[in-house]
A = this chain, B = another copy of it.
């Protein structure tokens, strides 16, 4: 992969860039994860969001186990080239491994993080074992 558009991304010292997934219909921010060069190239090429899992240290096609793929409608880069925003259509309406629509389900209130969003699906049923 030698495409110059990939070189315009300012990869961090680990070769990663943060990628924000925003629901194309509702505008809700669903999650933020990381992409390496291969993940971003595959995302652009296939139209399905790929990330790099820092914990599992490998390429991660979002929804590969749960089936909750993210279809990418638009891909943007910021002024500094060090952050990506994707407009996506989230299969199943659930982006979070906790079974919620969005990973951002905790709101700051009176000096603490309070869970304010409901679990839509039991996470135990989300993944194959």
Where the two chains meet, the residues of A that have a C-beta atom closer than 8 Å to any C-beta of B are 3-5, 8, 18, 20, 22, 26-29, 31-32, 44, 74-80, 83, 85, 96-98, 100, 103-108, 111-113
Complex Cα distance A4/B112, Å? 8
Residues of chain B within 8 A (CB-CB) of A8 are: 113
Contacts of A44 in B (CB 8 A): 108, 111
Contact B77 A108 (CB under 8 A): yes
A3: shortest Cβ distance to chain B, in Å? 6
Number of copies: 2
A-B contact pairs, 20 of them (CB 8 A): A3-B111, A4-B112, A5-B111, A18-B83, A20-B29, A22-B29, A26-B27, A32-B78, A44-B111, A74-B107, A75-B108, A76-B107, A77-B106, A77-B108, A78-B106, A79-B100, A79-B103, A79-B105, A80-B103, A85-B104
Chain B nearest CB, measured from A31 CB (Å): 7
Chain B residue at minimum C-beta to C-beta distance from A112: B5
Q: Do residues A5 and B113 form an inter-chain contact, with CB atoms below 8 A?
A: yes
Interface centre among A26, A28, A106 (most CB of B within 10 A): A106
B75 close to A97 (CB less than 8 A): no
